[in-house]
Every structure is written in C-alpha cells, then in structure tokens.
Amino acid sequence: NAAAFGLPASYDADKTKNYEIGVKGDALNHSLSYDASIYYIDWKNIQLILVDATSGSGYYTNAGGAKSQGVELSVESRPLTGLTLSAWAAYNNAALIQAFPATSTAFGRSGDRLPFSSRVSGNVGIDQEFPLAGNIRGFAGGSISYVGDRQGVFTSTANRQNFPSYARTDLRAGLKRNSWTVNLFMNNAADRRAALKGGIGTIYPAAFNYIQP
C-alpha cells in the first residue's frame, strides 16, 4: 500500500482450496451426453480495497474467509438428424463464513453473499441444421439464458445494491459450405435492460452498466 499515516504497509496473499467431483458420459447410442459436478471452494484471507475515513486514501487489506459451493449440470441431446437440444443449470452459494473485522470500513457478516454471485443460473438452446443445395447447408437456432438476482459490492453499512434477475434471448442463423461459415445473429433479441454493475458503493452511485441492447 502507499505510505500514509495509519494505513497497513502491506497485505497477505489470498488462497483458495478447490474440491470438485463429477461425472460425464453419453447414452442412447451417443445421442445424449451429460456432465454433472458438485464443488466446494474454501477462500482464505479475502483481499478488500477499503477507504480510510481519516485520510480518504484507498488501501488493500485482508478480511476473513468465504466459501463457494454448488452444483452444475449440463445435457445435450441429438434426437433427430441435424437437431441439437442443449441445456445447463447451476446452483451456487457463495458467501462469507467470517464477519469483516470491527476496524474495517466495509460491513460484512457471516452468511452475506459475495458480490455479483447469483444463486441460480441456466441456459436452454435449440439448433437445427438442414441441407440446401449441393454441399451448402443452412442452420438456425436460439437460446435463452437466465441469471438470478445478485448483490453489489460491500459498503460501510448492511445496505447493498440489488441487481434483479434477468433472462436474455439470442437468435442465430447462417450457411455452411466446406470450411466456410456465414453467420447472422441477434443477441438480446427482446432488448432487455438488465443491470450488471454500479449503484450503491461505487464512485457514481446513480450510474449502472447494462447488458448490451
């Protein structure tokens, strides 16, 4: 840290231990594939950037610990020639396991969610490929992705910015010929205005970053 009266001169490394077990394979004569896993991440000495109330200087320091644990599952099915159905879903519980020190200018209690971590997220998609003329093939498809509600950065109080859940629809179509592909796509076809970052605890509390329109 920059030399300033009363600020810690340095801070320790943060460390994680990651545990994961899973299974993946296929069935129904390779027309169905799956991938599933459960995981636990133990996070020690979280690094935080704080602001000293006396000098107004920003500095890094270490807080307690946190965990991230959850389940992930993805499947892909090819029931008909040229048709692909896919989906994945995830549940994640990322939270503090220790409160921030009493001397911290940020407020965090054991059990508080980590910033920008959604509990539930997922995606479903469908793609169809079909012959056109000669060795030219066409394809079309779309997907809907879901991101659950999230909370913003830690602040000096228990009050944090809330980011509501949202779903985004993406569409695509195109042509294939040998090694060439022409692709036309429309992301966020429903033109959702979902907030990603900003709000309470940032330099400009009334400003937000949104997903691409």
How much of the chain, in percent, has pLDDT values that exceed 70? 98
Strands (E), 9-149: 15-27, 32-44, 47-51, 58-62, 66-77, 83-96, 120-131, 136-147
Is the pLDDT at 53 greater than 70? The verdict is no
**What is the per-residue DSSP string for 105-119?**
SS---TTPBPTT--S
- Per-residue confidence (pLDDT) for residue 73, from 0 to 100: 98
- Average pLDDT rounded to a whole number, residues 173-197: 95
pLDDT single digits (tens) 115-165: 999 999 999 999 999 999 889 999 999 999 999 999 998 888 899 999 999
- Average pLDDT rounded to a whole number, residues 192-209: 91
- Per-residue confidence (pLDDT) for residue 72, from 0 to 100: 98
- Average pLDDT rounded to a whole number, residues 77-87: 95
Residue 166's beta-bridge partner residues? Answer: 147
The overall average pLDDT reported for the chain is 92
Q: How confident is the model at residue 185 (pLDDT cuts 50, 70, 90)?
A: very high
When mean pLDDT is compared across 95-104, 137-146, 178-187, the lowest value belongs to 95-104
Is the pLDDT at 69 greater than 90? The verdict is yes
Number of H helices, E strands in the chain: 0, 14
pTM for this prediction: 0.85
- Dist CA 152 CA 163 (whole Å): 7
pLDDT single digits (tens) 7-23: 778 889 999 999 999 99
When mean pLDDT is compared across 70-74, 94-98, 199-203, the lowest value belongs to 199-203
Residue 199 near residue 152, CB atoms below 8 Å: yes
Is the pLDDT at 84 greater than 70? The verdict is yes
